[in-house]
Amino acid sequence: MPFECRGCWHVWEEDYVVRRSEDDHGNEGEVWLRAGLRVPPPSSGALCPHCGCEHATTFPDGYLARHPELIPPAEPVVPDATPLLSPVPRPLY
Ligand SMILES: [Zn+2]
């Protein structure tokens, strides 16, 4: 899920898994998992890894695919089933 910091406009992505669950009273809830650990929903305050500001907003999925210029150029290589956007260097001639 893409995030954008409202403080420094840093854009980053974090992978969350959202599970819908019902408790014993039939109340539907959402459980947010990140790397297998339960975490608070990012809507309640995602921390910007750049400036630590808590006022981060989320993008709809696919937003960064339409705005590849927002993706930092140097990203760690993570094995992923989804195809990566790899800019092809243009020939110089
Ligand atoms: Zn920030």
Q: Which residue in this structure is represented by tokens 């809507």?
A: 43
Percent of the chain with pLDDT over 90: 2
Instruction: Please tell me whether the overall predicted TM-score, pTM, comes out greater than 0.95 for this model.
Output: no
pLDDT digits (tens, 9 = 90+) for 15-41: 777 788 788 888 888 887 887 888 777
- CA–centroid distance, 16 to ligand 1, in Å, is 19
- CA–centroid distance, 61 to ligand 1, in Å, is 20
- CA–centroid distance, 38 to ligand 1, in Å, is 23
Q: Rg of the Cα trace of the chain?
A: 17
Neighbours of ion ligand 1 (CB under 5 A): 5, 7-8, 10, 48, 50-51, 53
CB 4 within 8 A of CB 49: no
pLDDT of 65 above 70:
yes
pLDDT digits (tens, 9 = 90+) for 75-93: 566 666 666 666 677 777 7
pLDDT of 42 above 70:
no
